[in-house]
Homo-oligomer: A and B are copies of this chain.
Amino acid sequence: MPNPDFSMDIQISFGHCDPAGIVFYPNYFRWFDRCFHTYLQKTAGGHRRLCNVLDAKGIGLMDVHANFVSPAMDGDMMTLDMSILDWGNKSLTLGYLGRIGSRAVLEGTELRGMFVMREGRLRAGEMAPLRALLDAGLPETPST
């Protein structure tokens, strides 16, 4: 992932770790999710604004995978890189790489859909309008 679309630093803390002294693995997925939502926040005003504009219920998970390469522990600073790997008609694939310095901690992917209510059922909606909003970015604040 030479050019991630978004990166954030995670200060690994005591409470993230289990009795073996390493990160309790579900926490990595809380960070995947937080990374994506922070990206939405910085790029397009956040999940709530996007859902309002797009009349969607949420941009949620359909599939997730992670491969744990090496452990992280209390005191480590992990950089989490996120890349948009693929836009499908009704899905978005995100890639994640967590690393401490140059050492890989984990790699993973999320497959997300945008869920909309149609004819009384929750369905995966078209992704093109979401993509357009993310590409457009936030409107400029008028200078006067």
- A-side residues, CB < 8 A to B, are 11, 13-15, 17-22, 24-27, 29-30, 33-34, 37-38, 41, 46-48, 57-58, 60-68, 71, 74-75, 115, 122
Contacts and interface: CB of A to CB of B under 8 A. Distances in A.
A14 B74 contact: no
Tell me the interface secondary structure of chain A in the complex. Answer: mixed
Report which residue of A13, A65, A74 has the largest number of chain B beta carbons within 10 angstroms of its beta carbon.
A13
Contacts of A21: 19
Nearest to A35: B13
Contacts of A14: 18-19, 33-34, 37, 47
Given A19-B18, A20-B57, A64-B65, A13 B26 contact: no
Contact of A15 (B11, B34, B62): B34
Contacts of A64: 25, 65-66, 68
Given A37-B13, A62-B68, A26 B20 contact: no
B63 A22 contact: no
Given A47-B74, A63-B68, A68-B62, A13 B25 contact: no
15 contacts: A13-B33, A15-B26, A15-B30, A18-B18, A18-B58, A19-B74, A20-B58, A20-B115, A26-B27, A46-B74, A46-B75, A47-B74, A60-B68, A65-B66, A71-B122
